[in-house]
Structure 1
Amino acid sequence: MTDQRLILASRSAARRAMLTGAGVPFTALDAGVDEDAIKTSLAGIDPAELALELARAKALAVSRHDPEAWVLGSDQTLDSQGGMISKARDLTEARHRLRGMSGHTHHLNSGAALAINGAVVWSGVDTARMTMRRFSDDFLDAYLEVEGEGLLGSVGCYRLEGMGSQLFDRVEGDYFTVLGMPLWPVLNELRRVGVIRT
């Protein structure tokens, strides 16, 4: 589309699918940042701001190794009932987490950052308000069996584009934000810097 190169600093299949679906040419590379260390160093930070900081760290890590490419970093945080939630380590923890979120509303924050020449030139965050329905143990068992360990890659233990859609009564916010990246602002910025055509 243009002669500008874009690198997505993420392992996320959902983020890759979003850019591919939007017709944006890119390559993907794992940023290799220590997310736990960043979270520890920023303990107490607003969850939306943490999503931004993680996105910036990913973009910068890759940009320092390939300064001539545009690098897009993105990350999500989830805050529920006054606490920050991290990815579940196993299906037992996922079951406990989902049971605790049943019948409650949580906020899913998706941050993105664009870097070039080892510097972040843009970043933004969007938040979706997610209300889970009260579901039965039978449903939860079936859900975990169908989704399996694939749901451990999602901070909320769900994929809205899959059976996870049945977990919710209401979602307020942008669909792409829920999937893992505030796509509309990202596309606007990619147009502004000449990565994709205006």
Structure 2
Amino acid sequence: MLEGAGVPFAVQVADVDEAAVKATHDPADAAGLAVELARVKALAVSRHDAEAWVLGADQTLSFQGGLVSKAGSLDEARARLTAMRGTVHQLHSGAALARNGQVVWSGVDTATLRVRNFSDAFLETYLKTEGEGLLACVGSYRLEGMGSQLFEAVEGDYFTVLGLPLWPVLAELRRAGVLRS
């Protein structure tokens, strides 16, 4: 997304214990958790390169009042998608910018996705086609791929669904003088 928007960047994996952050956070506050995970990641990297502008990001999924984690297997993905069939859920994409070991901005955006009442045959084809790559996605789908066929409607920003509240991030980078306005 950043590359497509013309923002130069380098990737550095934040070595953070996401399970520990989740354990201390209210599971009913999925949007808040997305921001907190983004903040923790941005700070972890910023502490190693104080002068860099560091963007941390994370995404959470809330469904039927609970927090959903990534599926551990295709069988778990099948069960999750079956449960979400004909219902709605929310994706919360959090982002945080850090510099000099401090978070200078953070935000979250939410999209609501309405899953269509797809057939079992479609689900099996989908799982076979997409394979274990789905296990890297919190909802066991990629909207930019065949997963788009799982939905009948999406309310919210496309980039939020992909995992980053891009418009607010770009606005903050312009405000901070990192990008030209």
What is the CA deviation profile of residues 119-178 of structure 1, one whole-angstrom value per residue up to 9, with x for unaligned ones?
000000000000000111100000001111111111001110000000001100000000
What is the CA deviation profile of residues 15-37 of structure 1, one whole-angstrom value per residue up to 9, with x for unaligned ones?
xxx00000100000110111111
- Specify the alignment match of 2:161 in structure 1: 178
SS at match of 1:110: strand
TM-score normalised by L of structure 1: 0.90
- Specify the alignment match of 1:153 in structure 2: 136
- For residues 109 and 16 of structure 2, what CA distance do their matches in structure 1 show? 22
- Specify the alignment match of 1:113 in structure 2: 96
- Specify the alignment match of 1:86 in structure 2: 69
What is the CA deviation profile of residues 71-95 of structure 1, one whole-angstrom value per residue up to 9, with x for unaligned ones?
0000001000111100001111101
- Specify the alignment match of 1:125 in structure 2: 108
Which one-letter code corresponds to 1:106 in the other structure?
A: H
- Specify the alignment match of 1:57 in structure 2: 40
Q: How many equivalent residue pairs?
A: 181
Is 2:61 aligned against 1:72? no
**Structure 1 residue corresponding to 2:125, chosen from 119, 142, 147:** 142
**8 Å Cα contact 2:38/2:57 also seen in 1:** yes
- For residues 104 and 90 of structure 1, what CA distance do their matches in structure 2 show? 22
What is the CA deviation profile of residues 56-115 of structure 1, one whole-angstrom value per residue up to 9, with x for unaligned ones?
000000001111100000000100011110000111110110000011100100000000
Q: Which runs of 4+ in 1 moved over 4 A?
A: none
CA offset at residue 44 of structure 1? Answer: 3.5
SS at match of 1:131: strand
**Structure 2 residue corresponding to 1:103, chosen from 86, 91, 106:** 86
- For residues 27 and 71 of structure 2, what CA distance do their matches in structure 1 show? 20
What is the CA deviation profile of residues 29-56 of structure 1, one whole-angstrom value per residue up to 9, with x for unaligned ones?
1101111110011133511000000000
SS at match of 2:2: helix
TM-score normalised by L of structure 2: 0.98
**Unmatched 5+ residue regions in structure 1?**
1-17
Give the aligned CA root-mean-square deviation in angstroms.
0.8
SS at match of 2:55: strand
